């Protein structure tokens, strides 16, 4: 599997890095592919409603009504038609890229299987939408599609008479079949929306809207395309002739040539194998399944921060069962938990300022507990020398095993940047374990666990609980959100940060209640700040 | 300045993206059917004769059957396969034995196929057998056509219209 994922990843990383320059991390379209899919859907839906006003639903008049829209009313209906077509194409494009990206980034297996598997009917329905859409124009392309599709379906032993026989001669043509296509072209998109909604059931706070700037830019670009290259019809359908050359829309109709080269049965077999492969992919080896988060009721006060922050809605707040004076307690649903640890970072009980044997928190990960984390931070400080000692705490994706360090730098790996409870930063500086802390994680809008970097930023900026104490000198803290292709620069960026530490006045140290340093400005070392 | 460059960069990327979309939305063109050729499509749904004749049940057999199922005649439901032949310009282009459809072989034979021929003048002959005769055919049809490039000639079999219909 890695062999397939790696080249896709490499390609995506490259494009992502290139696009990071003009767009910045936050607007980079590759980080909003799902949301762009939704955006395209709304464009298609809105333009579709407009087109339907002028569309004549009779098979003989349909073509003329589309011609009217394209030529007589080109400035509005024509543009709408073009937008309708091109945004539909965009939807396929963004969907395919989104699928590849989730696959390459390994976000399709384990508890994420649900989003993956519900993606399959999305693909199927999208194709039904596109193919029926081209059918409605009833031009030579539509004729080609009608004949080829029905011939293909006739291979299935379900129709008594070949349905392709409906398209032999013009006098056999009837409105009934055409009406069925119109019906499908309206029903399929509605069903598609439903399935897209189901697709997101297990994703909490799904990103279904691209950032406004990106949306505006994208929309304008599609308008330009619609004006420069308006969508046109072929010549009207003529069943007495075989359409020789057709201008296929390769996004939706790209597989039709296969029907000319392979038998219908082979194409059905290919479709079946493709679907099965896609749907079963989450259960193909290597199987990896980290243990789910566990709640320790004696440290849980029912504050629901973990439930708010969990990116997969795996934590719910339920009535207290242990008789404690709080109303609620956190409960983890293991079938939803991806073991990111973001809940650990959210819990107010997650503090290292305790004696060793007391260190425990309300919600913890069995395979990398809060106690393990404090131990790792303690170890990281051992042997650091100089006046620019830095402890880098980074997510496993960003550090990616590069944790060698040197005399003044050492690395601590967490599962996700969001796993780091803010008091740990305070702890490192307050206990003089290092002169500076770097928190490193995935690029903005691109956290492998969706919100790790976002919540960490907000906690440090004190806009989201649990907040980082004011007394923590922010100039001794750097946040590095690195695009995947940019991970190699981590060492360099850490050194640059270490340099800035040398010129800072020494910190007064020791003791929990050290004096609070003067009011601090936001760290300069933030990517894209 | 840097901002302008970034916006310009965004514009270039987005325009390149939609240019790609616009291109693939209708090109490259696909040659579905070669130039200078015409197409003959032959299709029918036709039941062959029932296999063998009917047989009179014996009194003992009738006695054993449930009262509501008792029928004097025992007629097999299976149908014979339909044999079809197509000649173009005197050359055999296709011959096929089409089995009856249905789980019990009691449905009609279903046929749909296409044949590509060069445009131009052709004589076309079709034959169909739906009985258990050893030789010859039950239906025959033939006609002369001058087929234009890309023209579609439909050959149907409709016994109610007297046999083969060309259009
Ligand atoms: C046009 C069709 C589609 C749209 C609009 C769409 C949209 C979305 C959105 C908005 C998200 C949430 C992203 C986030 O907030 O982090 C998402 C997640 C996901 N999608 Fe899709 N999707 C589509 C098709 C597909 C397909 C075809 C597949 C694969 C077969 C797929 C696989 C996934 C997976 C695995 C996730 C979960 C990612 C995670 O858990 O981190 N999607 N999709
Ligand atoms: S580990 Fe992550 S997915 Fe699991 S409950 Fe905690 S925040 Fe949710
Ligand atoms: S964040 Fe901690 S204290 Fe709050 S509900 Fe979750 S486990 Fe309990």
Q: Do A220 and B152 touch (CB under 8 A)?
A: no
- B107: which chain A residues are within 8 Å (Cβ-Cβ)? 160
B59 belongs to a structural domain: no
Q: Are A198 and A327 contained in the same domain? A: no
B15 belongs to a structural domain: yes
Distance from CA of B59 to the nearest CA of A (A): 38
Q: Which ligand is nearest to the CA of A306?
A: 3
Q: Specify the pLDDT at position B133.
A: 83
A518 belongs to a structural domain: no
Q: Specify the pLDDT at position A509.
A: 60
- State which residues form the domain around A378: 294-502
Smallest Cβ distance to B30: which of A21, A245, A251? A245
A26 belongs to a structural domain: no
Contact call for residues A222 and A234 (beta carbons, < 8 A): no
- Average pLDDT (A389-415) is 91
Q: Are A331 and A257 contained in the same domain? A: no
Angle between helices A2-27 and A212-228 (to 10 degrees): 100
A145-153: long-range contacts at Cβ-Cβ below 8 A with a sequence spacing of 24 or more? A145/A253, A145/A256, A148/A256, A148/A259, A148/A260, A151/A259, A151/A264, A151/B112, A152/A259, A152/A264, A152/A267, A152/A268
Mean pLDDT of chain A: 90
Contact call for residues A239 and A168 (beta carbons, < 8 A): yes
Within an 8 Å CB–CB cutoff, is residue A222 touching chain B? yes
Report the percentage of chain A scoring pLDDT > 90: 76
- B19: which chain A residues are within 8 Å (Cβ-Cβ)? 225
Q: Are B26 and B84 contained in the same domain? A: no
**pLDDT-based confidence at A510, cuts 50/70/90?**
low
Q: Are B22 and B47 contained in the same domain? A: no
**Distance in Å, CA A520 to ligand 1 centroid:** 40
Contact call for residues B124 and B86 (beta carbons, < 8 A): yes
Q: pLDDT digits over B96-152, tens only?
A: 998 888 877 788 888 999 999 999 999 999 999 888 888 888 888 889 999 999 999
Query: Residue A232 and residue A61: Cα distance in Å, rounded?
Result: 17
A332 belongs to a structural domain: yes
Q: Are A205 and A251 contained in the same domain? A: yes
Q: Are B119 and B43 contained in the same domain? A: yes
Alpha helices (H) in B25-140, listed in sequence order: 59-64
Smallest Cβ distance to B21: which of A93, A243, A256? A93
Closest CA to A365 of A292, A302, A305: A292
- From A110, A289, A306, A343, the mutation candidate for ligand 2 (largest count of ligand atoms within 8 A of CB) is A343
Q: Is A311 in the pocket of ligand 1 (CB under 6 A)?
A: no
Q: Is A312 in the pocket of ligand 2 (CB under 6 A)?
A: yes
The tally of domains found in chain B comes to 2
- State which residues form the domain around B5: 1-30
Q: Are B44 and B11 contained in the same domain? A: no
B64 belongs to a structural domain: no
Q: For residue A146, what are the CA distances in angstroms to A153, A244, B116?
A: 11, 14, 19
Alpha helices (H) in A105-234, listed in sequence order: 113-136, 140-154, 175-199, 212-228
The reported pTM is: 0.88
Closest Cα in chain A to B41: A168
Whether the per-residue pLDDT at A245 is higher than 50: the answer is: yes
Whether the per-residue pLDDT at A268 is higher than 70: the answer is: yes
- For an interface test with A, the pick among B3, B11, B26, B109 (most A C-beta atoms closer than 10 Å) comes out as B26
A9 belongs to a structural domain: no
| No. of helices (H) and no. of strands (E), chain B | 2, 11
- A24: which chain B residues are within 8 Å (Cβ-Cβ)? 6
Query: Residue A164 and residue A482: Cα distance in Å, rounded?
Result: 55
Q: Specify the pLDDT at position A518.
A: 39
Q: Are strands B163-166 and B82-88 parallel, antiparallel or unpaired?
A: unpaired
Distance from CA of B54 to the nearest CA of A (A): 27
Q: Are A276 and A362 contained in the same domain? A: no
Q: Are A67 and A154 contained in the same domain? A: yes
Of A280, A310, A328, which residue is a domain's last? A280
The one-character DSSP state at A325 is S
A164 belongs to a structural domain: yes
B101 belongs to a structural domain: yes
List strands edge to edge, sheet with B139-147. Answer: B91-98, B82-88, B120-129, B139-147
Q: By three-state DSSP, how is residue A92 classified?
A: helix
Q: Do B112 and A165 touch (CB under 8 A)?
A: yes
Closest Cα in chain A to B149: A241
A459 belongs to a structural domain: yes
B4 belongs to a structural domain: yes
Q: Are A271 and A345 contained in the same domain? A: no
Q: Do B29 and A246 touch (CB under 8 A)?
A: yes
- Average pLDDT (A395-414) is 89
Q: Are A179 and A132 contained in the same domain? A: yes
Task: Write out residues 28-47 of A within 8 Å (CB-CB) of B.
Answer: 29
By alpha-carbon position, which residue is closest to atom 4 of ligand 1? Answer: A34
- Average pLDDT (A293-322) is 94
B96 belongs to a structural domain: yes
Q: Are strands A436-442 and B82-88 parallel, antiparallel or unpaired?
A: unpaired
Q: Do B24 and A89 touch (CB under 8 A)?
A: yes
Q: Specify the pLDDT at position B132.
A: 82
Q: Do A168 and B9 touch (CB under 8 A)?
A: no
Q: Are A171 and A239 contained in the same domain? A: yes
- Average pLDDT (A144-153) is 94
Q: Are B158 and B83 contained in the same domain? A: yes
Whether the per-residue pLDDT at A519 is higher than 50: the answer is: no
Contact call for residues B9 and A22 (beta carbons, < 8 A): yes
Name residues contacting ligand 3 (CB within 6 A).
A 295, 300-306, 330, 346-349, 362-363
Query: Residue B158 and residue B126: Cα distance in Å, rounded?
Result: 13
Q: Are A272 and A329 contained in the same domain? A: no
Of A248, A280, A312, which residue is a domain's last? A280
Q: pLDDT digits over A454-501, tens only?
A: 999 999 999 998 999 999 999 999 999 999 888 889 999 999 999 999
The one-character DSSP state at A315 is E
- B10: which chain A residues are within 8 Å (Cβ-Cβ)? 22-23, 27, 217
Q: Specify the pLDDT at position A458.
A: 96
Which ligand 3 atom lies nearest to the CA of residue A295? 7
Mean pLDDT of chain B: 88
Q: pLDDT digits over A324-342, tens only?
A: 899 999 999 999 999 999 9
Whether the per-residue pLDDT at A520 is higher than 60: the answer is: no
Distance from CA of A253 to the nearest CA of B (A): 9
SS (H, E, C) A259-274: HHHCCHHHHHHHHHHH
Q: Is A418 in the pocket of ligand 2 (CB under 6 A)?
A: no
Q: pLDDT digits over A85-98, tens only?
A: 999 999 999 999 99
Quickly list DSSP for B88-108: ETTEEEEEEEE---STTS-S-
Contact call for residues A206 and A133 (beta carbons, < 8 A): no
B152 belongs to a structural domain: yes
Name B65's Cβ contacts closer than 8 Å, sequence gap at least 6.
none
Query: Residue B61 and residue B63: Cα distance in Å, rounded?
Result: 5
Chain-centroid distance of CA A496 in Å reads: 32
Q: pLDDT digits over A17-55, tens only?
A: 999 999 999 999 999 999 999 999 999 999 999 999 999
Within an 8 Å CB–CB cutoff, is residue A79 touching chain B? no
Q: Specify the pLDDT at position A529.
A: 31
Query: Residue B97 and residue B108: Cα distance in Å, rounded?
Result: 13
Q: Do B15 and A19 touch (CB under 8 A)?
A: no
Q: Are strands B37-46 and A363-364 parallel, antiparallel or unpaired?
A: unpaired
Q: Are B41 and B25 contained in the same domain? A: no
Q: Are B4 and B47 contained in the same domain? A: no
CATH number of the domain within which A171 lies? 1.20.810.10
Which structure tokens are listed for A6? Answer: 């790696």
A256 belongs to a structural domain: yes
Distance from CA of B136 to the nearest CA of A (A): 27
Q: pLDDT digits over A363-378, tens only?
A: 999 999 999 999 999 9
- From A362, A369, A370, the mutation candidate for ligand 3 (largest count of ligand atoms within 8 A of CB) is A362
- Average pLDDT (A410-438) is 94
**Distance in Å, CA A309 to ligand 3 centroid:** 11
- For an interface test with A, the pick among B2, B9, B13 (most A C-beta atoms closer than 10 Å) comes out as B13
Q: Are B89 and B149 contained in the same domain? A: yes
Query: Residue A153 and residue A264: Cα distance in Å, rounded?
Result: 8
Which ligand 3 atom lies nearest to the CA of residue A304? 5
Q: Do A22 and B12 touch (CB under 8 A)?
A: yes
Which ligand 2 atom lies nearest to the CA of residue A315? 5
Q: Specify the pLDDT at position A356.
A: 66
Q: Are A95 and A188 contained in the same domain? A: yes
List strands edge to edge, sheet with B152-158. Answer: B109-118, B37-46, B152-158, B163-166
Cis peptide leading into A15, omega within 30 of 0?
no
By alpha-carbon position, which residue is closest to atom 3 of ligand 3? Answer: A300
CATH number of the domain within which B101 lies? 2.60.40
End-to-end CA distance of chain A: give it in Å, rounded: 37
Task: Write out residues 93-132 of B within 8 Å (CB-CB) of A.
Answer: 101, 107, 110, 112
Q: Are A243 and A151 contained in the same domain? A: yes
- Average pLDDT (A150-154) is 93
Closest CA to A242 of B94, B119, B141, B92: B119
The tally of domains found in chain A comes to 2
Q: Are B25 and B88 contained in the same domain? A: no
Q: Specify the pLDDT at position A313.
A: 92
A1 belongs to a structural domain: no
Within an 8 Å CB–CB cutoff, is residue A507 touching chain B? no
- Average pLDDT (A177-184) is 93
Q: Are B90 and B9 contained in the same domain? A: no
Contact call for residues A376 and A424 (beta carbons, < 8 A): no
Q: Are strands A409-414 and A328-332 parallel, antiparallel or unpaired?
A: unpaired
Within an 8 Å CB–CB cutoff, is residue A228 touching chain B? yes
Q: Specify the pLDDT at position A517.
A: 40
- Average pLDDT (A200-229) is 95
Q: Are B4 and B45 contained in the same domain? A: no
Q: Are B26 and B100 contained in the same domain? A: no
């Amino acid at each position: 599997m890695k062999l397939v994922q790696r080249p896709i990843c490499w390609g995506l990383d490259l494009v992502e890095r290139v696009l990071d320059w003009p767009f910045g991390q936050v607007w980079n379209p590759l980080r909003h592919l799902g949301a762009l899919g939704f955006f395209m859907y709304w464009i298609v839906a809105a333009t579709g409603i407009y087109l339907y006003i002028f569309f004549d639903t009779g098979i003989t008049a349909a073509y003329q009504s589309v011609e009217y829209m394209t030529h007589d009313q080109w400035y509005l209906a024509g543009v709408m038609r073009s937008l309708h077509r091109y945004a539909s194409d965009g939807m396929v494009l963004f969907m395919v890229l989104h699928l590849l990206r989730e696959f390459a980034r390994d976000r399709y297996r384990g508890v994420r299987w649900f989003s993956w598997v519900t993606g399959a009917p999305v693909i199927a329905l999208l194709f039904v939408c596109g193919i029926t859409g081209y059918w409605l124009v009833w031009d030579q392309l539509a004729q080609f599609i009608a004949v080829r599709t029905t011939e293909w379906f006739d291979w299935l032993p379900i129709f008594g008479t070949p349905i392709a026989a409906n398209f032999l001669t013009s006098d056999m043509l009837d409105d009934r079949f055409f009406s069925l296509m119109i019906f499908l072209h309206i029903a399929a998109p509605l069903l598609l929306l439903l399935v897209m909604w189901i697709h997101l059931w297990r994703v909490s706070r799904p990103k279904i809207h691209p950032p406004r700037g990106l949306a505006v830019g994208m929309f304008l670009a599609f308008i330009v395309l619609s004006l420069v290259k308006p969508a046109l019809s072929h010549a009207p359908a003529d069943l007495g002739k075989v359409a020789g050359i057709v201008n296929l829309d390769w996004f939706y109709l790209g597989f039709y040539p296969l029907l000319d080269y392979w038998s219908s049965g082979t194409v059905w077999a290919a479709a079946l194998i493709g679907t099965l492969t896609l749907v079963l992919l989450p259960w193909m080896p290597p199987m990896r399944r980290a243990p789910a988060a566990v709640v320790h009721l004696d440290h849980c006060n029912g504050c629901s921060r973990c439930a708010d922050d969990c990116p997969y809605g795996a934590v719910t707040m339920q009535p207290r069962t242990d008789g404690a004076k709080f109303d609620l307690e956190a409960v983890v649903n293991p079938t939803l938990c991806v073991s990111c640890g973001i809940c650990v970072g959210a819990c107010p009980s997650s503090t290292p300022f305790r004696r060793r044997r007391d260190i425990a928190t309300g919600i913890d990960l069995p395979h990398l507990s809060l106690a393990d984390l404090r131990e790792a931070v303690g170890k990281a400080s051992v042997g650091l020398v100089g006046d620019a000692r830095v402890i880098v705490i980074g997510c496993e994706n960003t550090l990616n095993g590069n944790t060698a360090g040197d005399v003044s730098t050492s690395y601590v790996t967490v599962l996700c940047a969001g796993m780091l409870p803010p008091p740990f930063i305070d702890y490192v500086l307050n206990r003089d374990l290092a002169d500076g802390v770097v928190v490193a994680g995935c690029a903005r809008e691109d956290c492998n666990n969706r919100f790790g970097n976002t919540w960490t930023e907000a906690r440090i900026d004190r806009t989201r609980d649990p907040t980082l104490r004011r007394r923590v000198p922010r100039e001794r803290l750097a946040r590095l959100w690195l695009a995947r292709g940019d991970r190699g620069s981590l060492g360099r960026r850490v050194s640059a940060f270490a340099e800035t530490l040398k010129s800072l006045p020494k910190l007064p140290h020791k003791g929990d209640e050290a004096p609070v340093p003067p009011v601090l400005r936001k760290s300069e070392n933030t990517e894209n700040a | 300045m840097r901002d302008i460059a970034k916006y310009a960069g965004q514009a270039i990327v987005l325009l390149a993206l939609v240019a790609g979309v616009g291109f693939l939305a209708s090109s490259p063109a696909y040659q579905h059917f070669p130039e200078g050729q015409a197409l003959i499509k032959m299709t029918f749904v036709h039941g062959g004769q029932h296999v063998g004749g009917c047989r009179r049940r014996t009194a003992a057999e009738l006695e054993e059957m449930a009262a509501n199922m008792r029928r004097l005649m025992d007629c097999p439901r299976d149908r014979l396969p339909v044999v079809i032949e197509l000649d173009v310009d005197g050359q055999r282009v296709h011959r096929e034995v089409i089995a009856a459809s249905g789980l019990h072989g009691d449905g009609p034979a279903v046929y749909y196929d296409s044949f590509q021929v060069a445009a131009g003048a052709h004589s076309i002959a079709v034959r169909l057998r739906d009985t258990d005769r050893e030789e010859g055919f039950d239906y025959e049809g033939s006609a002369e056509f001058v087929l234009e490039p890309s023209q579609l000639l439909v050959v149907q079999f409709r016994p109610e219209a007297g046999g083969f219909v060309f259009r």
